[in-house]
A and B are shown apart, each in its own frame.
Chain A
Amino acid sequence: MAKNKAAVLKAPKVTWKQDFRRNWPVYCMFIPAVVFMIVLHFIPMFGIVMAFQNFSISKGYFGSEFVGLKNFVDLFTGDQFPIALRNTICIALLKNTLGFIPPIIFALLLSMIENKRFKRICQTMSYLPNFVAAVVVASLVQEFLDQDGPLTMLLTNVFGLENQNWLANNHIPIFWIIYILMGVWQGIGWGSIMYVAAISTVSGDLHEAAAIDGANRWQRLTKITLPCIMPTIMMMFVLGVGLSFSTGYDSIILLYMPSTYNVADTVYTYTYRTAFGAATNYSLSAASGLFQSVVGTVLLIGSNWISRKTTESSLF
């Protein structure tokens, strides 16, 4: 029976040429994306070769001396990269725990609001910080946490903490927490969109039936809503883990200073600084960048595999 059904559902075989003739506008629409990927992502990959060279801009890719894995040895035996790696891992862990949960909670809370107008206002308000440029957010954080900033004053006067510029504090885990909280403030609304969308697909019948059976709001939340959106949560978690190594893409560069490199430097900022900072070393930067990409890819594939095994949902 199943065999017959499969035969019925099988689509007629269409050759590539026939498909192209029929759908050529769709293929045309695909061209910009392909060109974009090739020009801006695949061709620049050739630059990876710098990681294995003593690269000099003037000599170029083909003239620079090949040094094998020397740059990787320098990377891991140097003082700063291991620190950057530690910071990246710690910040990623915090981001995927403390920073990951608030958007879910926020989405669940939003789903509990019954007044639609108020719900929309809350949602819109929560999205706004996401559209504020990173440089503005960083400036706000600097102002608020400066020695005479309002948050510093609050911490000093109410909690009796030392009056200081908190961003200049190079003790663990001050900077990490600031960074995570900044991310939460900026991304809680935007990050909740996927969950709000997922919650909206949960059948109202389930809630209705549960309510009839006497389930209260909390029970409906934990027994119906959360399990239903778990695939989405896992998918977002997979994405989050995969992107862990890009931590510090913009805001850390704007927030850190040489005296806080020991707590704020991440693999990304190290890569950037080594390539474009006062002390440049393109080869070392390329080695760091390659390491970051490889680990990021491994993390993405690994977490995707775990997601598929545990929740039967995955990105690919």
Chain B
Amino acid sequence: MKLKTTKKIVSAAMCGALATGLLAGCGAGGGSSSDTSYTMWIYQGADSQYYTEYSDNPVYQYLASKTWGEEEKTIDINFWVPASGTASDSYSTMMGSGDYPDILDMSISDGEKLMYEQGIILDLTDYVQEYMPNYMAYLEAHPEVAVYATTDIDGEEKYLSIITVNDDYPFTYCGYQYRRDWIVKYGTNPQTGEPFTGGYTDENDPDSWEDDVVFPSGGTDPVYISDWEWMFEIFEKAYDDLGIDDSYCISVYYPGYTWTGDLVSCFGGGNFAFYEDADGQIQYGAVTDSARAYLECMNTWYENGWLDPSFNERTSDMFYAIDDTSVRQGKVGMWCGMQSELGGRMDAGDEYTSGIYVAGCELPINDIYGTDACKNVEPNCIMTGQGLNGTGYALTSAAEDKDIPTLLTMIDYLYSEEGALMATLGLNPEQMEETGTTFYSDNGIPDGAYTVQDDGTYLLADAVRNDSGGLWSAASLEKFPHLQMVANVDYGYADTYEHSMELWVKYHNTAQINGTPVTTNMEQDVSDTMSNAQSRLMEYTDMNAVDFIKGNKDINSDADWETWCKALAKYDYQGAIEEIQPYADKYEINPTVE
């Protein structure tokens, strides 16, 4: 009898435990015990090989060891970092459940204006003006940046977030690049017909390349689409000579275009979404002559065997790392890639990469396809080279009862010269000692990520410069609002390397409106109208552009083009354009471009 009762109690306890387990995940998330304990959601943490908890960041640990504000309080931040690839889901869950962090990374947010109107984020105007003198001083000195820092609420400019700013606008991490060693080896001077000469002057230096290459446009770098096609013909010779029969000259993002419109806008301007034309008028790009010229070019490249025949199947590849395997095997002539692939860095000593030299190039200007209006126009929808790092960090309603002045005082320090340097490049040896961190010595940079040179510039440590992973990011406080003080950083780049990156940022975005003041200041209804129209338009173009490129539909057939345009018109882009136009009239897309 006793045993039976015990069994009953045990089974009941187990059921209770099960039920408790089921409900364990419900309820509020992290909570702070004091008014200077905060929670912060960031969309991405550091590379997990360095640390998995962002609170282990050495710069954060330094900040946490100090006292801040008039009352000299310490701060404590509990970072919420979603697993890789789940940032959007994590954000949606937070918003849906109302379980907000105190500090919110706005990288993938719904827009500050909307969130403020819904009471999710706080108006920081008074706090910023009173407790952030360094931040305010920077914005006053840079009015072109200040427009990104405020949002128009009923005619009043309010600070709804603190933005990370970059003091060296034209920067990027990726761009088009090509096998220049193949141009030297297999090409001939288009003017004289003489073979090119060139090679490395120092076998141990991946940037010590010199050659006498001249492009059909007359310069030493490719400028026009015709220059690109001239290169493709040379790449074909390389493939024949090397016996590569499973490659192509260039690939494109799987829908057949990039959503930001980088290559599309080379054909007269614009993208496959809403953009502002040279006359200040909002247009929907996918139905323009420029889009048709772009598709005609892609179709020609496909028919000629220059375009990756499987481009539409590479749906899991990032636009800057399409078919990375073939690229790194040295089988592709041209691709959109990252800085770490420039020069001779991809030389694996094997059949196809031995002696490789990769050079960057600017976006091309169309001089072949479409109408005259589509030719000789500089590209204007650019993702890379946009210049300003405008990532914002807002305080949510969850932080209403917290000590906001102390928090903002600490953040403001990261906009001072000393604080910005620390956040950008990591701790110096004195700061390391003060914090007691072993992060730098554990990762091969015992003296820190940089040294100060005689001319006052900061030279990156070799280990950081040569690291293609996330060492710099892990050693600094990248995922926190701060001034990125990179203008005085000496990356130690060779001239050839720097030249490539200068070409990547040659053109600036002046037309693509997403993420610019035009969209960030939109009223909620307009924003909804635009995003609803855009989502349906994008779905259609993502599915059907490939048919024109692969020749299933004839891009030169007016009937096929009419069908495409009519199908898109059903989604009422005209209605969206009319609603967006007033914002384009009022705000500049890229105030950092003179």
CB–CB B22/A32 < 8 A: yes
* B539 surroundings in chain A (CB, below 8 A): 80, 279
The residue in chain B whose Cβ has the minimal distance to the Cβ of A26 is B11
CB–CB A35/B310 < 8 A: no
CB–CB B110/A257 < 8 A: no
* B315 surroundings in chain A (CB, below 8 A): 257-258
Residues 126-169 of chain B, each 1 if its beta carbon lies under 8 Å from chain A, else 0: 00000000000000000000000000000000000000000000
Q: Which of A59, A79, A258, A279 contacts B254 (CB 8 A)?
A: A258
* A39 surroundings in chain B (CB, below 8 A): 22-23, 26
Contacting residues of chain A (160-184) with chain B, CB-CB under 8 angstroms: 165, 167-168
CB–CB A258/B312 < 8 A: yes
Given known A28-B11, A35-B19, A258-B315, contact A78–B536 (CB-CB < 8 A)? yes
The residue in chain B whose Cβ has the minimal distance to the Cβ of A265 is B543
B550 shortest CB reach to chain A, Å: 8
Q: Identify which of B89, B528, B543 gathers the most chain A CB atoms within 10 Å of its CB.
A: B543
* A42 surroundings in chain B (CB, below 8 A): none
A287 shortest CB reach to chain B, Å: 13
CB–CB A279/B312 < 8 A: no
The residue in chain B whose Cβ has the minimal distance to the Cβ of A61 is B96
The reply to whether the CB of A156 lies closer than 8 angstroms to some CB of chain B is no
* B22 surroundings in chain A (CB, below 8 A): 32, 35-36, 39
Separation of A24 and B8 alpha carbons in the complex (Å)? 8
Contacting residues of chain B (11-65) with chain A, CB-CB under 8 angstroms: 11-12, 15-16, 18-19, 22-23, 26
Which of the 9-residue segments A12-20, A50-58, A185-193, A211-219 touches chain B? A50-58
Separation of A110 and B573 alpha carbons in the complex (Å)? 60
Contacting residues of chain B (310-356) with chain A, CB-CB under 8 angstroms: 310, 312-313, 315
CB–CB B313/A168 < 8 A: yes
A193 shortest CB reach to chain B, Å: 27
Separation of A202 and B95 alpha carbons in the complex (Å)? 56
* B535 surroundings in chain A (CB, below 8 A): 278-281
Which of the 9-residue segments B112-120, B486-494, B582-590 touches chain A? B112-120
Interface size on B, residues (CB 8 A): 45
CB–CB A279/B538 < 8 A: yes
CB–CB A258/B26 < 8 A: no
Given known A29-B15, A58-B120, contact A259–B312 (CB-CB < 8 A)? yes
* B120 surroundings in chain A (CB, below 8 A): 58
CB–CB B95/A279 < 8 A: no
Separation of A79 and B23 alpha carbons in the complex (Å)? 41
The residue in chain B whose Cβ has the minimal distance to the Cβ of A54 is B528
CB–CB A168/B8 < 8 A: no
The reply to whether the CB of B532 lies closer than 8 angstroms to some CB of chain A is yes
CB–CB A58/B12 < 8 A: no
Residues 147-166 of chain A, each 1 if its beta carbon lies under 8 Å from chain B, else 0: 11000000000000000010
A31 shortest CB reach to chain B, Å: 5
Q: List 28 A-B contacts (CB under 8 A).
A: A28-B11, A28-B15, A29-B15, A31-B15, A31-B19, A32-B18, A35-B19, A56-B110, A57-B92, A57-B110, A58-B120, A59-B118, A60-B96, A79-B567, A147-B310, A258-B254, A258-B315, A258-B542, A258-B543, A259-B546, A262-B543, A276-B89, A278-B538, A279-B535, A279-B536, A279-B538, A280-B535, A281-B535
